[in-house]
Amino acid sequence: MNILVTGASRGIGKAIGEYLRDKGHNIFASSRNEAPLKEFKNYCVCDLYENPEILGDYIEKNNIDILVNNAGEYIYSPIEKVDFYQIEHITKINLESPLYLISRAVPYMKQQGRGRIINIGSISGVMGEACASLYSSTKAGLIGATKALALELAEFGITVNTINPGWVETDLGNESANESGFSKDEITDCIPQKRFITPEEIAGMVNYLISDEAKGVTGQSINLCAGLSVGY
């Protein structure tokens, strides 16, 4: 199977790409930065804000069976300090580009009678996050799109699901923790399992969702958050 993972240069995306590659899958990776992508045999350098059509063309050229929309950006800011560019930028990266890439991947999936689309959302799109309204709203939009697309594509053997990580042990996760104004220990204390999720746990969930065993799982918003969504 040909699997495209966006945002594969670091963190969650890199872990997903490496995990699935080690399982024997044919990985196609994309990111804005070329150097980290060179560990993958096939890759596409693309800025999803400036020119998502480059990756759209790449998808069609390489007959992608499985699309993992992982690329995303995070903004931590009180709403009154947000400017129009930030709203436009994060909406295009986190919501518009995934939908566009799906539109380019679906024709081949329909032709094959099988496909998998996995969106990497966030627990912030499920619960909301103070001072991260732009991020939360785009990730919530991704969950809504997942449900609608799952209905639209079910008859073609294509499943669509979203994984919503909580706090993740990555550079971005640690940077977000620092921006929040709370220490990592304070954040961890509010998580029922008292830990951050690892990128490998997310990769393992992706691996399950692309399997034949998960062919009946579609339209789901799966919270992989160490119990954060349940309460405290």
Q: How far is CA 124 from the centre of its chain?
A: 13
| DSSP 3-state of 107 | helix
DSSP structure string for 181-209: TS-HHHHHHTSTTSSPBPHHHHHHHHHHH
Of residues 100, 108, 135, 232, which has the active-site annotation? Answer: 135
Which residues, 6+ apart, have CB-to-CB distance to 144 below 8 Å?
none
Active site residue 85: no
Of the candidates 38, 128, 121, 115, the one whose C-alpha atom is nearest the C-alpha of residue 79 is 128
97: which residues sit within 8 A by CB, 6+ positions away?
48, 49, 52, 69, 71
CB atoms within 10 A of CB 185: 9
Q: Which residues are catalytic?
A: 135
